[in-house]
Amino acid sequence: MKTFKNILLVITSIFAWTALVGYGTFSGLLMQAITKGSSSASFIEATKEKIKNEFVGNMAMVLIENGAVSKDFFYSIHKPVNKHTVFQMASVSKWITSWGVFALVEEGKINLDEPIDNYLTRWHLPESEFNNQEVTVRNLLSHTSGLVDGLGYGGYEDKDSIQTIEESLTKASDGLWSKGVAKVGNQPNSQYRYSGAGYTLLQLIIEEVSGQLFEEYMEEAVFKPLKMAHSTFNWSDSLGSDLATFYDKDSTIAPHYRYTALAAASLYSCAEDLSLFLKANFADNGVLRPETIATMNKIHTPANQNTHGLGPMIYGRNDSGDYIVGHDGGNRPAINTAVRINLKSKDGIIILETGNPDLATKLGDEWIFWKAGIADYVVIQRSKPFLLALLVIGYLIIGFLSFVIIREKNKKELGE
């Protein structure tokens, strides 16, 4: 009985220490930010140190504090990069696209809870075991439509190979990591499942409702009012903008891929334009009303699943009221982008880079922890060696103290 109590005490102590370290991990109390400094300059210095050990072909970074640009940083291994250099944005495109959708919502031309089939004539969802009439515009925006496409578009190096929207929705030939078929395979509105095809459907809906090509509509409805003069969904060398060189992760210059899925994957923009876009989220902007933006930034996914708004991703909130929204993007050859904003403090970050498949996302997560103490996967992984060492040291101390206590008890009992 005495031995059982001793073992139970040791096991309880180990569980308690593990729980304490776990709480400290997920609350952020046991982790350090990428920099001990509090200024934008210190974050950029930490970024410079990080890229010394990782290949980056080019990078544009902008930090915003209290609604104004506080610091920027540009880096390249060859052709210089500046605030007007245009990068392909990958899935950040989806957040911008949502503004185009909501401009039509405010005009009364789209109802968020209307079946998408009511807006489509050129293409319709294929029959499935689920009711396609339950798929709404709201579902497409929040990735809760039940679509199981898994896209993920790879794009086309050869412009002549680009499919029409209808062809792509039927079977995306650049769906490199999936079957590429836009079909409802889960009960609509039952779960979060990221869908590239959902935003290609929104691209088609915008064309059907507006009567314009998607890229032309977005230029008039979003880019011009926000003065995003270097942004487009339809890249042409005749635009007079400077396109960043594409690098692959092996440091070689890589091809420029083009897309059918413009809304999902092929916005072109620059650091300055994206700064204007972030500011538009908390200022009069000529496109959307504040109450509309507030609706977009609320969580619209089921409880205990990945959180997503109606366009932006929701990266987390803390007890102080900080609330981070935004979007990341990643695509071949090695494009990675991260655009995030704290809706309470009006702080934000923009990171655009090629040549590294995940550096922008990592730095975006580091920024969230640095600014708001919200620990994401990247920060936890960076802190993993320290946390494991802390666990082991704690277990060793528990073992040593247990040994000493049990020995002293035994001595006392023998003495009696």
pLDDT in tens, 229-259: 999 998 887 677 799 999 999 999 999 999 9
Residue 32 has pLDDT above 70, yes or no: yes
CA 325 distance to own-chain centroid: 9
CB 116 within 8 A of CB 204: no
- The distance between the two most distant Cα atoms of the chain, rounded to a whole number of Å, is 96
Give the separation between CA 152 and CA 176, rounded to whole angstroms: 7
pLDDT confidence tier of residue 402, bands split at 50, 70 and 90: confident
pLDDT confidence tier of residue 389, bands split at 50, 70 and 90: confident
More confident residue, 382 or 357: 357
Phi/psi of residue 309, nearest 5 degrees: -90, -155
Torsion, Cα of 186, 192, 194, 200 (10° steps): 70
pLDDT confidence tier of residue 151, bands split at 50, 70 and 90: confident
Q: Which residue has the tokens 């004539």?
A: 121
CB 158: neighbour CB atoms within 10 A?
9
Least confident of 39-43, 138-142, 175-179: 175-179
Q: Could you give the count of Cα atoms lying within 13 Å of 318 in the half-sphere of its Cβ?
A: 19
CB 30 within 8 A of CB 24: yes
pLDDT at residue number 275: 97
pLDDT in tens, 67-93: 999 999 999 999 999 999 999 999 999
pLDDT confidence tier of residue 307, bands split at 50, 70 and 90: confident
Query: Which residue, among 155, 356, 153, has the nearest Cα to 255 in the 3D structure?
Result: 155
Q: Is 388 exposed, middle or buried (0-12, 13-18, 19+ CB in 10 A)?
A: exposed
Indicate yes or no: pTM above 0.95. no
Torsion, Cα of 140, 142, 144, 148 (10° steps): 60
Give the separation between CA 178 and CA 164, rounded to whole angstroms: 19
CB 52 within 8 A of CB 291: no
Give the separation between CA 386 and CA 290, rounded to whole angstroms: 43
pLDDT at residue number 414: 64
DSSP 340: E
Question: Which residues are within 8 A (CB) of 12 and not within 5 positions of it... i.e. 6 or more apart?
Answer: none
- Determine what percent of the chain is predicted with pLDDT higher than 90: 71
- Determine what percent of the chain is predicted with pLDDT higher than 70: 93
Give the separation between CA 187 and CA 184, rounded to whole angstroms: 8
Inter-CA distances, 382 with 34, 267, 338, 374, Å: 9, 31, 18, 14
pLDDT at residue number 238: 67
Residue 382 has pLDDT above 80, yes or no: no
